Structure 1
């Protein structure tokens, strides 16, 4: 682009456009007398413009053609596909829906076996806070029953001062 010259290479002789129109008109007047015919060479047939519109319309107006529908079963295909998709969705939703389990669904034996299998290291005081004492009896914790006398004998042997426990010896459990 830089190599292209900015100068205009087309030049006209000086004074070319000043007398141009006069020269053209003079040449036309000279030729009229010599070579131009006095009548035009083109002729229009009679009633041409009255008939031309009808001829054009008869040639260009198309006849109605018979319409053949392609694939009329296409709408049935879409309806069947939509029903199939709905059917698959309903079955898929029902298949994946599971009932959520609650704490009430667990059996007491399952809870006990879970606590025994896991070493939770709960102290007796932590267990006592959770377990309601009103519904428990001593036999619930022990495999064999223990008499009150055996309990008192055990306490007398292991505790130095039995009075610290504030137990009435005549009181029954």
Structure 2
């Protein structure tokens, strides 16, 4: 970039900035006389704010405006009927379901479940909580376990022969 010297460029007349504000106001007044009027601002009529409340009350009490409803009452029942029909369709069961009976249980699946699952119930707890009121002696004797099963049970759960015999107070 070339160096800038004090002699290059524009020159101002002497005393240009000394009387600049006076010349600017004079020039603005000569060019736009309407601008001077707009600078004055607005004027309110005499006693405008003193009588404002009275004039406002007179305007408000002059005429009654009819109230118009946005949604007429005739159209309110249409969505209500549609909602009732929809609720009725959704609430009505499609087909009656049959109740399950004891005969519906698959015995093989139940046996497999009971044999594979580990329960935290000892045979003693099971015997204490088993209701014997409805059992007949024939039911128990018909399904008596084999001797091998009884021996395995005694070996697993009985530590001494004394536990097999009842005490006199029992």
TM-score by structure 2 length? 0.29
Higher relative contact order (CA 8 A, sep 6+): 1
